[in-house]
Structure 1
């Protein structure tokens, strides 16, 4: 009796099953952890491609990008000169509300709160991510050494080099930390609000830097992209660390709420220390 040909796609099932078994730890905890770290490296490399491309275009002085930067800066500069009140609002937003010191202070308060809740891993991730973002941004500026815009009758001044924008990068990293940690505490029906606040802050701070004439558009985009790289790398390492410690992995889009495990008890963010109850819905 002739055998029927296998259905399309069935031949790849054993391979997919073997990969899942390997990643789930059936090949040993060390191998599974190594595979997670390898995937972290690959994912981080993929996310880094847009930033590397932006850096290459900036360093090569690509003409279309140069024209975009110059035209946007001159247009926004003229608008700022015509409206001093707008300049004062922009300076308040970028110098107080969305200032890197303010954003990092919020993250520091979050870390203290996490430590009080005994969420050790999550506190470590938040602190390392914020610190890594600040250091990598500073080092990148020092290596690239791009000059800030030089405009006639400038309405604002800023020290240091230009690429990438420190304000834009700090906003991206800080808002991502706050969003990923606090999102599990927000009911699903209201989760659009923290997302809206985070997106508005990230885009808003970039707009203020360009509108005040202290950064090029490509500086801001570079800051966003580099911040995204840092958050992606540290978050994936955190997820691998948590999985290696016996904690259930969660969807990153639902936040990074700490999990309860028998090996390393750690209360959920909404629970009181020493209890295993949760005050908010799970993501």
Structure 2
């Protein structure tokens, strides 16, 4: 009869979280394959086509104005409250914090910094490329347009391409890029595509972006995701550098906590053969233990020992009292070599008055 314990779903989740974290060895970084290169080239061509279409005030600009006059937020006002919250999924600050928190926990569990570094590189590329085009073209948004039918370029705006759309493609697409299995990568790719399309359409509904802005934002985000494998060597070198610095700081911290060696109980002596001989100091009662050391270490120790001895002798001579100087004609002898001399009589000086009184009292007095 089997008595295996049946775990609930919550217990299985906690059991998986309690496992010892380890860095997975089967993860493979995406490579720049021929299929990816073809997609990158096609997306780049689409990106340039949109820019040219807006610069030449083509049919795409007329479509922008037609949708702007249609005013979707007035046609379906019941969707306004919900879409105001949905567009937050494309804002750079909240989405970056949420994704960075998840990737940080994953980095800690797997003992690797690749997820966080990859996110940082992708966001840096997004800010540089999208920001440069925004400031360079300077297009105004639908709410600030001044001339009907105009592309509104070089007017001090910053909405072309759509930053919300490009950020949604990169931020949520990085989860699919870092997936560990093929099934997970496909599922997350579909989720990121739906989120980015929804955010782009929401900006058009709210009237904050033209349709061409959203199309260029999708293209800009997709270009960054397709070009990420070219930056994998940089990501690997950055991770190795951070780990090397961490190990160096850890060794320095451990060296600083090590206690200083006690050398007062043992006296090192250097023999002619280039070896250490540790002689116990007075009162320790141990035996000398020879330990071979390299010649350069032995020479350095001998120099240090000689310098210590000289310093001790100088300290003793400087603290001792100054010796008495004897004349040259009279040799100095120590107390043990002197001839003992016994004093003859009392050491007190003679007093004549006391002696006379003592002699008068001792003499008998005769009568008559």
Same fold (TM over 0.5): yes
Work out the CA distance in 1 between the residues paired with 2:95 and 2:62. Answer: 32
Asked whether 1:128 is paired with 2:121, we answer yes
Q: How does 1:4-153 map to 2 (within 5 A)?
A: 47-62=43-58, 64-75=59-70, 77=71, 79-94=72-87, 96-116=88-108, 117-150=110-143
Could you say which residue in structure 1 is the equivalent of 2:208? 214
Larger Rg: 2
The CA deviation at 1:129 is: 0.7
Q: Tell me if the contact between 1:165 and 1:215 (Cα under 8 Å) persists in the aligned partners.
A: yes
Bigger helix share: 1
1:111–1:49 Cα change, 3 Å: same
1:151–1:59 Cα change, 3 Å: same
The CA deviation at 1:185 is: 5.3
The CA deviation at 1:114 is: 4.4
The CA deviation at 1:44 is: 5.0
Question: Could you tell me the TM-score, scaled by structure 2's length?
Answer: 0.46
1:105-126 superposed Cα distances (whole Å, 9 cap, x missing partner): 2332244234423323343222
Question: Could you tell me the TM-score, scaled by structure 1's length?
Answer: 0.59
Could you say which residue in structure 2 is the equivalent of 1:173? 170
Q: Which has the higher contact order (CA 8 A, sep 6+)?
A: 1
Aligned residues, how many?
195
Q: Mark the runs of 5 or more structure 1 residues left unpaired by the alignment.
A: 1-35, 153-158, 246-263, 265-283
Q: Tell me if the contact between 1:110 and 1:178 (Cα under 8 Å) persists in the aligned partners.
A: no
1:241–1:127 Cα change, 3 Å: closer
Q: Aligned-pair RMSD on alpha carbons?
A: 3.4
1:120–1:82 Cα change, 3 Å: closer
The CA deviation at 1:192 is: 5.4
